A and B are shown apart, each in its own frame.
Chain A
C-alpha cells in the first residue's frame, strides 16, 4: 500500500442561520452543508453520524426543506467515479432501529476546489438556468424553471435579462419561495433604487465559490446618508472593524464625494481620514467613519443609465487604532459566520491571503434513488428542542487516496 494517504476527522453539524422548522416543538431537521478539508485530495470518503447511529430513526420523519418526510442517514460512502452530489447511504426509517440502504440522488458528496482546477470538483459557476420574469423592485423577485439548487444564502449571477443593471452583479438570494421562485438580496441589503423595468426572460447561474484571495472587492447596493454611513454589499463583505476601504462610485450613483479625492490626499471629500469600517452590522452591511449627510444621495444604477460602471468597495488596508479600540474581534467570517480559511485576525485581518484548499462538500441530503423521498445527508442533522435550541450531530469521517485501480 505504498503511497496510500489516509486522513480522518470529526465535526459537529452546522445550524448557523437555521431555525427550528417546527417552531416550539422538538424536531429533527437538516443542517447546513459542510466542507471538510482534505489537503491531499481524496479517492474515497466514509462518514459516520455518531449521534444518529446510537438512536432509532426520527419518528414521524425529519424536516427537509420545510417538510417532515425525511429519514436520517447514519453512514455514507463515496469514492471517485460516483457522480458529483451523490453517494451511498445507510439510514434508519421512522422510529426504526433497522439499517436500510440507498443511494443519494443529490445532497451527497462533491469534491471542493475553489481554484477550479480539479477534475470532477464542484464548478465555480453552476449551469445556466432559464428565468421567465424579474420584478421591478429593489429586491427583484425572479421566476425560473424548476431548480432546487438555489437556497437562501446562495449567490447567483443574472444574465441576458432586460434588467441590464442587475446582470453580471453577483447577488445573494434572500428568499426562496419554492423551486421556481426566489428573491434577490435580503431585507437589509436591497438595492437603493429599483432597476426601472421588469426583467423578462434571461438566465442565472449559481456562483459556488468566492474569489480565492481575501479580502475581496464587492459591489455596493446602498449607502445611507448618516453620520456613520451604512454600506450594503450585494454579497457577504467579510470585512472587520478597522479595515480601511476605498470606494469607486460612478457618477450615475450620486455619492461621488465618497471616492478618493486627489486634491484631498485621496481621502473622501471634506474629511482628513480614509474610510474605515467602524462596525459590522451583519454579513451584508457595515458602517464607516465617514459622515455622508452632506453628500449626494446614493442610487444604484438603473437600466436607463446603462452602460455604466457599478459602485464597488475595495479593501485597502487597516487602521490599527480603530481595530484595537473595537470591542468586537476582528475575525473575517463568511455569510454563515464561519471563519474564512487562512485569514488573519486582529490588526492583520486585512492581510491578503489565499483562502483556497482542497476538500469535500458534505451535502445536507436529498432524495434517495429507491426511496424517492429525502434522506438527510453527510453533513448531519440538527436536533431542535421545544425551546428552539439547536444541537448538531457529531460526525466522524475517514478519507483516503488509493494506490491503484480506476474509476
Chain B
C-alpha cells in the first residue's frame, strides 16, 4: 500500500480543485473561507485517513460539510449591505468568462449546483454524489444533467441579451 504523503503535497495537488468546488457551491465571496476550513479540518483528520483512500473524494466530502455550515451561518447572519467588501481583482483571468459562468452556476438550485460541482468539477461518480446529497444515484445524475441544461440556457440567454444591447 502506498504510504501517506506529506500534507503539503495534498494541498498542492488538490488545492485548485477544492477551490473550484467551493466557488461553484458557495459563490466567490465565501469560497476562500470554505477552502480554508476544508483544508484545516482535513489536516487535523489526515493521520486517521486510511492509507490508499481516495484523497480527492475525501476532501470534497469535507468541503460539502463545511459549505453547509457556511451557508447556515450566512443565513443566520445576513451581510450588512453597506459593509460589502470591495474585491481587489476579478475572478480568474480577465475576459475568460469565469465570472459569467460562476454567476450562472450561482443561479442554479442548490442540489443542481452541488451535483455539477461534485461530478463535473471534482470528478466524483454519481454514486458518491448521491452519498453526499442524499437520494439515489439516478436522482443525482438527473440533478447534474438538469444543472448543465439550465447553465446552457442561462449562458446562451445572457450572451444573446449582451448582443442585443450592443446592437442598436
Q: Is chain B a partner of chain A in the same complex?
A: no
Chain A residues within 8 Å of B, Cβ to Cβ: none
Chain B residues within 8 Å of A, Cβ to Cβ: none
